Every structure is written in C-alpha cells, then in structure tokens.
Amino acid sequence: MSSTDDISRHLGILRRRDKHIASAIKQAGLPNSRRMEPGFATLIRIIVDQQVSVAAGASIWAKLKTASNGEVTPKGLLNLNEAGLRSCGFSGQKARYALGVAQSTQAGELDFDAMLHMDDEAVRAKLIALKGIGPWTVDIYLMFGMGRPDIWPVGDLGIQNAARALMGLRKRPTPERLEKIGADWSPYRSAAALLLWHYWHYRVETAKAAKA
C-alpha cells in the first residue's frame, strides 16, 4: 500500500467483494495515501500522535523539529533529554518512551533498515519489545511507515466508529468483532482501514456542516 494507485487498486477489488466497502466509496470517495518514510523519525511521530488530537500532535511535532534543528534523530533526542522533550509538549511518559526508542536505535538494537526485510510478525515482535510501543503504534508504523498491505488496527476508535456507522451496528464493535469483520477484506486490510478513517472523517464533517 505504498501509493494512491495501490490503494485504488486494492479498494477496487474489495468494492466488488463487499457492499459496505462499495457504499463507503460511493459516499466519501477514495482516500489518499498517507505513506511516510520508514525509520526512527516516523516511529517517534507515531508515538507523539498516540491518544492526542491531530492538531495537538502536529503542534508537538513542529516544536520537536524546531528543537532538533529540523531533523529528528536518536542522538538529537538523547541530547534534548526528558526535560527538552517535555518543553516540546511530550508527557513525561511519552518522553521516556521516545528516549527508550532512541537509546535502542543508538545502540544498534533497533535497526530500521533491517526491519524492511522482515515480515509483519517479525517487525511486530521487534517493536512490541520496546517499552511504550503497543499494538496500535506497531500497526500504524507497519501501514504508513512500511506500506504493508494487510494491516488491520482493530483497537483504533476511528475504525470502530466507522464500522458501526457503515454497517448499521447497534454499538461500536469490540476489537474481537472487528477482527472478524476485517477477515473478509484480507489481504487488503490496510486499504480498508484507510477507507474507514476517510469515511468516518466524511461523516463527522458532513454532520458539522449540517449543523452550521
């Protein structure tokens, strides 16, 4: 799922297979690629974005880039230390997680180039071993940092909300139920996830416009 063309192709297959995918595309259109460069900086950006709004994450990231002279590197983060990261807007916990990733990368324990040649589960095991890196963070890195085509972040609230609205469910699906829902969309679940985020954004913005 490295390009908009890949997303379009994968969703073209899924829309013929599933009426819900077809309906989401008809209503919201196709999503664009959100591909990011693989590596340390992208993983730190995903940590920054954990459990904060898009605007808050962008603000923290902008401050971090300024404090890092435009380039977020392991050495730069370690030089900033916890106090420097907190001045950029990191919580104490996130600062410690980010510094742990920087230390592992600096020591050669975490090799982003080597991960490019690993399968999804090997990458997952490598990253989950780091403190503060959970399933959501790994899923987002695999999808957007590595362009892996069959990632399905079942713990993501946006995807859960979108699935509830799109499928007319009485309540937001649990991760376990969402796993079953997504099974029919393999091996293109990354494109399906991207579509559901796009669809949910469309629903939210349409509701706002109706109230204006």
Do residues 34 and 205 lie in contact, with contact meaning Cβ atoms separated by under 8 Å? Answer: no
- Cα dihedral angle (193, 199, 201, 203), rounded to 10 degrees? -150
Rounded-to-integer distance, Cα 207 and Cα 212, Å: 9
Rounded-to-integer distance, Cα 143 and Cα 7, Å: 12
Rounded-to-integer distance, Cα 138 and Cα 39, Å: 13
Closest to 40 in 3D by CA, of 3, 77, 79, 1: 77
Rounded-to-integer distance, Cα 99 and Cα 172, Å: 35
What residues are labeled active site?
156
